[in-house]
Amino acid sequence: MSTIGLISEGITDQIVIEHILDGLLDDEDLSVEPLQPTRDETDENLAITAGNWVKVFEYCESTQFQQAVENMDFVIIQIDADIFKKENLNKKYKVVLQNLSSEEQLEVIKNKLIELIGHELVENHGNKIIFAISIDSIECWLLPIYYSNKPQIASKEVNCLETLNKELIKVENFIIDQKNPRYYRKICKPYRKKKELTKLYKLNPNFTAFIEDVQLKMVL
């Protein structure tokens, strides 16, 4: 049985990643453990610890991360690229993404996370660390579900939540105006089917980059 630790900005991000792993790996014995934020065992919709992008950075710098990498089979770090555009971002976390391609942005953000984790730890355990970096936000990875017949929209990397909501109100009769875990579970359901996931993830370039990293390191 493989155990995967999951570090993310929030519960809804964890839900997206969990659904993707469920469909991609198709492993009944797979164990995904939310490390940050942790969740209430009696109510999956409740977080025990606070979740946001600052907490992702802090966890990567902590001894908890080192222990997780040493004790688990894999650790996934999820973060949205849009947080690096925030004016109040601490200087130690800042990177320059202007005028860079998606591939270049992914590499810059990945290198910043490696810097926070520590190069020695990554050198020793890099094969167990998987980066789930979404450009611009993880909602961009959900667009292929509702825009599979419109590849240009499915591959968008800006204003993804707004674009997603345009279809959600028509198809699901709700919009995401708050991070409601129940909504995300409903939206992500198609990704639990490997055939659907395989068809859809290829519509988004940085979603594809995450899938390929999982495939490479977990040796499907």
For the residues of 8-40, what is the DSSP string, one character each?
Answer: -SSHHHHHHHHHHHHHHH--TT-EEEEEES-EE
What pLDDT was estimated at residue 2?
84
The yes-or-no verdict on residue 220 having pLDDT over 80 is no
What pLDDT was estimated at residue 26?
81
The yes-or-no verdict on residue 47 having pLDDT over 70 is no
Q: Which two tokens stand for residue 8?
A: 């993310």
pTM listed for this prediction: 0.94
Classify residue 28: in a domain, yes or no. yes
Backbone angles phi, psi at 64, to 5 degrees: -60, -40
Classify residue 27: in a domain, yes or no. yes
Instruction: Give the distance from CA 124 to its chain's centroid.
Output: 23
Classify residue 88: in a domain, yes or no. yes
**Is 116 within 8 Å of 60 (Cβ atoms)?**
yes
Classify residue 65: in a domain, yes or no. yes
Query: Exposed, middle or buried: residue 170 (CB in 10 Å: 0-12, 13-18, 19+)?
Result: exposed
Q: What percent of the chain has pLDDT over 90?
A: 83
Average pLDDT over residues 96-124: 95
What confidence tens digit (pLDDT) does each residue in 139-179 have? 999 999 999 999 999 999 999 999 999 999 999 999 999 88
Average pLDDT over residues 118-138: 96
Domain of 9, in residue numbers: 3-137+202-218
Confidence label for 52 from pLDDT (cuts 50, 70 and 90):
confident
What pLDDT was estimated at residue 147?
98
What confidence tens digit (pLDDT) does each residue in 16-45 have? 999 999 999 988 788 999 999 988 776 677
Classify residue 34: in a domain, yes or no. yes
Classify residue 75: in a domain, yes or no. yes
Number of structural domains found in the chain: 1
Residue 26 in 3-state DSSP? coil
Q: What percent of the chain has pLDDT over 70?
A: 95
Average pLDDT over residues 118-147: 96
Average pLDDT over residues 124-137: 95
The yes-or-no verdict on residue 1 having pLDDT over 80 is no
What pLDDT was estimated at residue 74?
97
Classify residue 160: in a domain, yes or no. no
Classify residue 197: in a domain, yes or no. no
